Amino acid sequence: RAAEATLTLHGDQTGPVISPEIYGHFAEHLGRCIYEGIWVGPDSDIPNTRGMRNDVLHALQALDIPVLRWPGGCFADEYHWRDGIGPREKRPAMINTHWGGVVESNHFGTHEFMDLVELLDTEAYISGNVGSGTVQEMMEWVEYLTSDADSPIANQRRANGRDRAWKVRYFGVGNESWGCGGSMTPEYYSDLFRRYNTFVKNYDRANPIYRIACGASGTDYHWTETLMGKVGHRMDGLSLHWYTLPTGNWSDKGSATVFAEDQWFSTLRQTLRMDEIVTQHSAIMDAHDPDKKIGLIVDEWGTWYDVEPGTGPGFLYQQNTLRDAIVAGLNFHIFHAHADRIHMANIAQMINVLQAMILTDGPRMLRTPTYHVFEMFKVHQGATVVPLELDPPDYTHGDASIPAVSASASRRDDGTLHLSLVNTDPHHAQTVSCTLDGVTATTVRGRILTAPSMHTHNTFDAPDTVVPVAFTGASLDGNTLTVALPAMSVVMLSL
Ligand code: AHR
């Protein structure tokens, strides 16, 4: 039986632009994200471009990735960039203490990352080392990357095979400095940010670097208050990390694929907390920065489950089901609703780690349901929010409820309007009756991502089990759009 949702689209009103960077990614030296996931080396049997596997590159290129964060994460604050330049066979190895204690070869370093950035036609977001690195080390990395001067450091880059400086749009001054990045207080970190940031120079004056300070974990509002007060407009962006744990409990996260409706429901309810958390951080930022010049950068988000049985606990390898697709859709809708403050968001992580786009197994790879949401939603990148009012029915489980329907709309420069819809209810279809105010539409086309069960996922033997297909459940009658939204689905409509 279908429940009813009503929705009014205000096509005659204009909201903020959705920063393309909200669709950003994150690749850390963690588990099999970099090694195996992207980097196989030029001598691999797996077809590759200068060491990066072609199947993965091809899949990622289709997402129009706007920005890629690297090298961590916790890894960033123990990474010393000089170990990752020069001839690969001469690079010193190191221990990746955070992630499995494995030996890191440093074969994927600055040149390889910037090559990847260019192959993906994306922007670089580099996380600098504040926790265990010096100001000089950070300063010289920025010079190595971005200076065209005839200086010893820029000439070292040239000697290593790159003549022109690269463009680095975003630079993070430390990661999780309250935890793995140095266990600092916000007061101490604020002073360190001011010091390190002073030496992040704009060698390329035409492309000034957007500086991102380490922000809060979840509901740590004191961190945001302190940073806004002590650092203020010295930073361009302040980060926020909020992961979706099915129970909110780190010691019992649950399986990615084997779960009951309790965990389906609690996962979605946890992920919807992103709205409340962003709202509260934004309110603090508004008090210091009413013109919203400083961006909130949600540079780690996504689901975090127990690792797949038989895989290393420090590798954070998890499968990805229809539940993850719903989580992605809900988060994007929240980010759009806060597009005036959120300048960027980076899902954790791109390949083989946490809520990944792509999983690999030797020469095989698959696109996850989350990948398909990123692909379906890319039309929202850079588009202008079309305000809407939604009155959704509840999806009730036990004695708790969440909205059964979530929606977001945007208009592209060519006038095309996109409406994305998510049905969180695994049992009931929803009929969405949509009044189009100030929208002239004559046709509606759509695609849907859904599956027979909450647990459905893509495997290496059946990689296209969950894929978007044409959606025929939307019809137009004058200024009324009616959508028959199947249970547990993500739909993208073009008008
Ligand atoms: O994404 C995995 C880890 O989660 C990151 O390295 C760290 O920043 C966060 O705690």
Contact, 287 vs 294, CB < 8 A?
A: no
Q: Which residue in 28, 123, 143, 300 is the catalytic one?
A: 300
Tokens of 301: 């988000």
The neighbouring-strand residues paired with 418 are: 410, 494
CA distances 494 to 279, 327, 432, 442, Å, are 29, 22, 15, 11
Q: What is the pLDDT along the chain (495 residues), one digit of tens a residue?
A: 567 999 999 999 999 999 999 999 999 999 999 999 999 999 999 999 999 999 999 999 999 999 999 999 999 999 999 999 999 999 999 999 999 999 999 999 999 999 999 999 999 999 999 999 999 999 999 999 999 999 999 999 999 999 999 999 999 999 999 999 999 999 999 999 999 999 999 999 999 999 999 999 999 999 999 999 999 999 999 999 999 999 889 998 999 999 999 999 999 999 999 999 999 999 999 999 999 999 999 999 999 999 999 999 999 999 999 999 999 999 999 999 999 999 999 999 999 999 999 999 999 999 999 999 999 999 999 999 999 999 999 999 999 999 999 999 999 999 999 999 999 999 999 999 999 999 989 999 999 999 999 999 999 999 999 999 999 999 999 999 999 999 999 999 999
Give the pLDDT confidence score for residue 247 in this predicted structure.
87
For atom 6 of ligand 1, which residue has the closest CA? 73
Q: Phi and psi for 172 in degrees, rounded to 5? A: -95, 130
For atom 8 of ligand 1, which residue has the closest CA? 73
- Residues near ligand 1 with C-beta < 6 Å? 28, 72-74, 175-176, 300, 348-349, 354
Tokens of 80: 């010393």
Taking the C-alpha atoms of residue 68 and residue 334, their distance in angstroms, rounded to an integer, is 21
Note if 300 is an active site residue: yes
For atom 1 of ligand 1, which residue has the closest CA? 348
For atom 7 of ligand 1, which residue has the closest CA? 73
217 CA → ligand 1 middle, Å = 11
Give the pLDDT confidence score for residue 51 in this predicted structure.
98
Nearest to 86 by CA among 34, 149, 35, 162: 162
Contact, 67 vs 344, CB < 8 A?
A: yes
The residue behind tokens 């202008």 is 384
Number of other CB atoms surrounding residue 28 within 10 Å: 28
Q: Which of 180, 220, 349 to mutate to test the pocket of ligand 1 (most atoms within 8 A of CB)?
A: 180
Could you tell me which residues come within 8 angstroms of residue 257 by beta carbon, excluding any fewer than 6 positions away? 319, 321, 455, 457
Element (H, E) at 159: helix 152-159
Contact, 386 vs 403, CB < 8 A?
A: no
For atom 2 of ligand 1, which residue has the closest CA? 73
74 CA → ligand 1 middle, Å = 6
Contact, 230 vs 190, CB < 8 A?
A: yes
129 CA → ligand 1 middle, Å = 14
Q: Which residue in 28, 176, 276, 389 is the catalytic one?
A: 176
Nearest to 447 by CA among 389, 346, 392, 372: 372
Evaluate the CA torsion angle 436, 437, 441, 446 in order and state its sign: negative
State the amino acid at position 348 in one-letter form: A
Give the pLDDT confidence score for residue 240 in this predicted structure.
98
3-class DSSP state of 9: strand
Taking the C-alpha atoms of residue 212 and residue 282, their distance in angstroms, rounded to an integer, is 16
Tokens of 424: 């969180």
